[in-house]
Structures are given as structure tokens and as C-alpha cells.
């Protein structure tokens, strides 16, 4: 088996190559020469190396033209929105994404941390500290912080279940009916309005698709419960930036925690950076765990070799 690793982040290509080679001793695993790690003398794929499988993130523009015999592309992330917009991606090439691979637990930690900050009024205390102001406030009871999780797939379901276990009232929203123990999942246009009306803290965990792009606009934000909060750990394009700022400025929304943005890195001139009601992190809520992820890819390649079906195959038409 011949595998080519094409990763746009320096260091990640060689890390993936190492972890895959460890787990697939019979395979030849090399790094694409058009990527930042592709100049390592021992591990760079020579010109003309034709692979059966590719693994990576944001491959170069000419990558697929140089790899005409691929049987599939394993995304080194859970989201495939960028890969599906790659102009060279062959229409019939199977794309397989990561399923949890350690990201679920990290996503739970991130969301729970933010909820506990909100409940404990830690932002208020941070502002008070800057003015040497000693004033106590009652914490917000968890029952008064109903959470809505948009997208209850692999990661969203994990987050929804764990937040419910931590004592927050939790609802989910998906495209169709879905059963999730301990969590009511709404769907459809009427379900959408009911979901928003019941939610005070809205967590976004749906993929970026034509349906979800700009979904969180002025109308959606205005339907949340008073004292609402937005936590976006999915993709920046789900949110209309100007509508979010308007909702915060008008006090219709109390705050927002943003991990993902339309443009990354976010330009220094963007108003999000300096907004007093926005807390930001640079797309770190659930980074790929290379060793766990490579083990998942190796296990799937083994299953495919035995003629078994595998999970995580992207439905190109629906966009995730
Ligand atoms: N910030 C980070 O570090 C980070 C890390 C990993 C992933 N992510 C993001 O998280 C997303 C979710 O990952 P995942 O592994 O949980 O994906 P997944 O298993 O494919 O789950 C996606 C969920 O979103 C729902 N959905 C899709 N379109 C929808 C729509 N129009 N309205 C309502 N729900 C919709 C799906 O509904 P159905 O159940 O009805 O199909 C499904 O429940 C990824 O696409 C990625 O963008 C971010």
C-alpha cells in the first residue's frame, strides 16, 4: 500500500507520516513534495510517486493532478468544507473524515469551561478587577442556563450528553428526527424556532454547508432567551458577523465565545478582536490528535482491506 501525506501545516506532515508508518509497517508512507514538510530528504515522495491513498489537510492546488490513482482521501480533521471546495478534488473520489478521534472530550472541556465562566459571572469579575472593584454576585443556577446544541453528530452528541450530565438543561437540533438519551432533539422549521426560543446558550457544532452558512443571523439571535450567549466551535461562516455585533451592542445577546472565523487567522482590523462582550480563541477548541487520528485511519484502511465498510465517509451531495 502506498500512502501520500499532504498537510498544509509545517510539522504536521512528518508527524502524520511517522504515526501512520508505525501502524502500517507494510505500507510506503511519504510526504507530498508540494507541502511544507515535503522537502525532508528521507521522507519526501519523489516525483512520479503514485499513491493509493492520501491523508491530509488543505492539499496543494495541483495535488490531485499529481495523484491520479487515489482510492480515497482521509481528511485529518472532522470538517471537510474546505476540502470539498478544492477545485482539483475529483468528483468521485471517496473522502473519509475523522470521527471523534479524541476531539469529543476536548470539545466538552471547552464548552463546559465557557458555561462555568458564564454561570460563575467570571467576565463580570474580570471587568471589576480592572477597576479594583470588590462586589459579589450570585452565580447563575445551571437550570437557568438552558443550552442548545446545533448539530448533534459525533461531536455535538458527545457535548450535549456531557453537558446534560453536568446539570445543564440541554436540547439539540439536527436536520431530521434523532434519538439522543437524556437530550431532546428538535428538527424542521417549527422545531428551529422552538429550539432557539428554549435556548439561552447556543453552541454551534454543525458543519459548514450551503444550508448552514449564515444560519445564525439577526433573526436567529433575536429568538434566543434573554441574557443569551453564542459559542461557535464549528465554522465561522455559520454566523453573520455584523448581525452578531449588532445583537451584542444592542444588549439582545450578553456575550459570545468564538473559536472559529470566516477568515483565519482573523485580520487584526476585525472588530471581534476588541469587542468587550466577545471572548476569542484561535481555532483550538478541539485540535487533531495525530497519534489517535492516525490509529483511526490505519484501522479504517485495515477494515477496507478486509472488505468491511467504514464510518466517516462524506456524502458529497449534502456537504458533510
Ligand atoms: N473548532 C474546532 O477545533 C473543530 C474541531 C472539529 C470539528 N469542528 C467542526 O465541527 C463540525 C461537526 O463535527 P462532527 O464530527 O460532529 O460532524 P458530524 O458527525 O457530521 O455531525 C454533524 C451534525 O450537524 C448536523 N447538521 C448538518 N446540517 C445541518 C443543518 N442544516 N441543520 C441542523 N443540523 C445540521 C447533522 O445533522 P444530521 O444528524 O441530521 O445529519 C449532524 O448532527 C465539523 O463539521 C467541523 O466544522 C470544529
Nearest to 103 by CA among 205, 238, 10: 205
Nearest to 212 by CA among 226, 198, 232: 232
**ω into residue 265 within 30 of 0, thus cis?**
yes
**Closest residue to atom 10 of ligand 1, CA basis:** 234
Residue 182 binned pLDDT confidence (cut-offs 50, 70, 90): confident
Mean pLDDT calculated for residue range 162-182: 95
Q: What is the CA radius of gyration of the chain?
A: 21
Mean pLDDT calculated for residue range 110-135: 97
What is the rounded distance in angstroms from the CA atom of residue 125 to the CA atom of residue 28? 55
Residue 40 binned pLDDT confidence (cut-offs 50, 70, 90): confident
pLDDT for 92:
96
Could you tell me what percent of the chain has a pLDDT over 70? 100
Give yes or no for residue 103 CB within 6 A of ligand 1: yes
Mean pLDDT calculated for residue range 71-82: 98
Give yes or no for residue 96 CB within 6 A of ligand 1: no
The string of pLDDT tens digits covering residues 212-251 is 999 999 999 999 999 999 999 999 999 999 999 999 999 9
Give yes or no for residue 51 CB within 6 A of ligand 1: no
Residues with a catalytic annotation lie at 235, 283
pLDDT for 165:
97
The string of pLDDT tens digits covering residues 81-95 is 999 999 999 999 999
Give yes or no for residue 16 CB within 6 A of ligand 1: no
Residue 41 binned pLDDT confidence (cut-offs 50, 70, 90): confident
The string of pLDDT tens digits covering residues 295-307 is 999 999 999 999 9
**Closest residue to atom 8 of ligand 1, CA basis:** 234
Ligand 1, residue 175: give the atom nearest the CA: 40
With both helix axes pointing from N to C terminus, report the angle between 154-165 and 103-120 in degrees, rounded to the nearest 10: 40
Q: How far is the CA of 91 from the centre of ligand 1 (A)?
A: 22
Amino acid at each position: 500500500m502506498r500512502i501520500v501525506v499532504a498537510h498544509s501545516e509545517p510539522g504536521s506532515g512528518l508527524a502524520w507520516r511517522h504515526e501512520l508508518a508505525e501502524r502500517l509497517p507494510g505500507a510506503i508512507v511519504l510526504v507530498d513534495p508540494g507541502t511544507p514538510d515535503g522537502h525532508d530528504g528521507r521522507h519526501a515522495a519523489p516525483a512520479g510517486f503514485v499513491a493509493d491513498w492520501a491523508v491530509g489537510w488543505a492539499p496543494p492546488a495541483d495535488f490531485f493532478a499529481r495523484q491520479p490513482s487515489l482510492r480515497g482521501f482521509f481528511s485529518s480533521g472532522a470538517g471537510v468544507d474546505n476540502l470539498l471546495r478544492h477545485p482539483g478534488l475529483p468528483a468521485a473520489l471517496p473522502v473519509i473524515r475523522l470521527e471523534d478521534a479524541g476531539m469529543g472530550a476536548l470539545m466538552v472541556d471547552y464548552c463546559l469551561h465557557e458555561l462555568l465562566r458564564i454561570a460563575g459571572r467570571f467576565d463580570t469579575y474580570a471587568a471589576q478587577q480592572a477597576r479594583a472593584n470588590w462586589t459579589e454576585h450570585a452565580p447563575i443556577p445551571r437550570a437557568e442556563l438552558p443550552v442548545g446544541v446545533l448539530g448533534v453528530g459525533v461531536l455535538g452528541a458527545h457535548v450535549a450528553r456531557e453537558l446534560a450530565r453536568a446539570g445543564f438543561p440541554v436540547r439539540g437540533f439536527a436536520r431530521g428526527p434523532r434519538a439522543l438519551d437524556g437530550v431532546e432533539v428538535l428538527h424542521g422549521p417549527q422545531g428551529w424556532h422552538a429550539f432557539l426560543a428554549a435556548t439561552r446558550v447556543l453552541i454551534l457544532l454543525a458543519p459548514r454547508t450551503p444550508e448552514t452558512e449564515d444560519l445564525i443571523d439577526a433573526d436567529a439571535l433575536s429568538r434566543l432567551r434573554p441574557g443569551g450567549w453564542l459559542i461557535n466551535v464549528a465554522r465561522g461562516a455559520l454566523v453573520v458577523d455584523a448581525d452578531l455585533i449588532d445583537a451584542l451592542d444592542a444588549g439582545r445577546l450578553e456575550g459570545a465565545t468564538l473559536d472559529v472565523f470566516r477568515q483565519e487567522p482573523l485580520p487584526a482590523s476585525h472588530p471581534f478582536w476588541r469587542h468587550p462582550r466577545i471572548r476569542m480563541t484561535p481555532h483550538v477548541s478541539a485540535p487533531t490528535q495525530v497519534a489517535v487520528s492516525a490509529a483511526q485511519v490505519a484501522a479504517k484502511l485495515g477494515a477496507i482491506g478486509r472488505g468491511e465498510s467504514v464510518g466517516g465517509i462524506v456524502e458529497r451531495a449534502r456537504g458533510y
